[in-house]
Homo-oligomer: A and B are copies of this chain.
Amino acid sequence: MASNSRLAIAIHTAGMLAFGEEMPITSTMIAKSVNTNPVVIRRIIGSLVKHGLVEVKMGTGGGSKLAKPASNISIAEIYLALEEGEIFHVPDLEESHGCPVAKLVRPVLKEIFGDAEDGLIAKLRHKTLQHVIDELRMELPADFCLKKLSNG
């Protein structure tokens, strides 16, 4: 893959929103923290909004915040919200393809890959966003990062 860092950015983003509690956080603030462009953040937040994980307020003083408690958001939800394609791809064969077995193997592979992804998602379901935040809080005072960002 042109390696998939969207999930990492999405979790980082959601984590910042959780730190921010009710205060709306702007895409620019998050972009600075992740070291990327605000539009990249907005695109990801758009997916999170679409799936009811985040709320956005437009205009001056606007920004994003979590739509529900961090303890109620699993990493699986974030993963699924991104609507990434399948992890493993089964290449297409031309219609004119000679070998019928090659065609029959496709559904078998799809089933295997589906199962595998289910296993992955099951693991992600066990971790909540709160989990992630707690691990961070153990190392730093809660609002450290946000103060930094607000001060420029």
Contacts and interface: CB of A to CB of B under 8 A. Distances in A.
Contacts of A19: 101
Say how many copies of this protein the assembly contains.
2
Given A1-B3, A7-B88, A35-B93, 4 more contacts: A8-B91, A19-B101, A35-B91, A87-B120
Top 7 closest pairs, chain A to chain B, by CB:
A119-B123, A3-B89, A101-B145, A119-B119, A120-B120, A5-B89, A5-B91
Contacts of A80: none
Interface size on A, as a range, is 35 or more
A98 B32 contact: yes
Interface in A99-120: 99-102, 104-105, 108-109, 112-113, 115-120
Interface in A134-148: 135-136, 139-140, 144-145, 148
Contacts of A11: 105, 109, 112
A115 B109 CA distance: 23
A86 interface: yes
A132 B145 contact: no
Contacts of A39: none
Contacts of A4: 1, 87-89
A145 B105 CA distance: 12
A15 interface: yes
